[in-house]
Amino acid sequence: MTVHVLILCTHNSARSVLAEGMLNHWATKLGRDVQAHSAGSAPSGRINPFAIEALNNAGIDTSTCRSKSWDEFSRDGAPPLSIVITVCDSAAAETCPVFFGGTGGQPVKVHWGYPDPSNAEGGDAGKRRAFELTRLAIGYRVLQLLALPLEAMDRTALHAALVGIGHS
């Protein structure tokens, strides 16, 4: 059974897109039945070009990336979410819509904060460096998530493990 993970950020243009790309990339490489999705509470309607560049430079396909609303994941027919991760502080502070989980009920929700690489100083070179560092940091946590025995964990254990990863 596929484990669906939703990564949220306000504009769904940078950090959440990096996380979706990294999680799907590593899940495929490691043969894990995990599918990442990303969305925003106020989607910008476009992906930050530096996010696309960082993912492409890492060999990750970005052809299906798009900025979308979290509303897509609270409707009938949405994938049954197991995990919801916020990656920006403003999204973490917002009241999320009701997301539908699989057989376990509501998804486990956690916050893994990252500074916004779009605000990096130093012109384009500074932004490129910030996006690459953010991609690497997200990749580190994603690999820890994929190392978990997700199918065998109850909600409490999964939440504790994900909170621990967020503090790493």
- Domain range enclosing 19: 3-166
Q: State the DSSP string of 17-46.
A: HHHHHHHHHHHHHHT--EEEEEEBSS--SS
Low pLDDT (below 50) residues in the chain: none
Q: Which of the residues 9, 27, 52, 87 is marked catalytic?
A: 9
User: Can you give the pLDDT at residue 99?
Assistant: 63
Kindly give the interhelix angle for 15-30 and 123-146, rounded to the nearest 10 degrees: 40
- Active-site annotation holds for 9: yes
Share of the chain above pLDDT 70, in %: 90
pTM of the complete model? 0.92
User: Can you give the pLDDT at residue 131?
Assistant: 97
User: Can you give the pLDDT at residue 76?
Assistant: 84
Q: Which of the residues 78, 96, 133, 146 is marked catalytic?
A: 96
The CATH number linked to 104 is: 3.40.50.2300
Q: What is the mean pLDDT of the chain?
A: 91
User: Can you give the pLDDT at residue 77?
Assistant: 87
- Active-site annotation holds for 88: yes
Q: What is the DSSP letter of 86?
A: E
- As for how many domains the chain has, the answer is 1
Q: Which of the residues 54, 55, 87, 88 is marked catalytic?
A: 88
- In 40-80 the beta strands, taken as DSSP E runs, fall at none
Can you give the C-alpha Rg of the chain in angstroms? 15
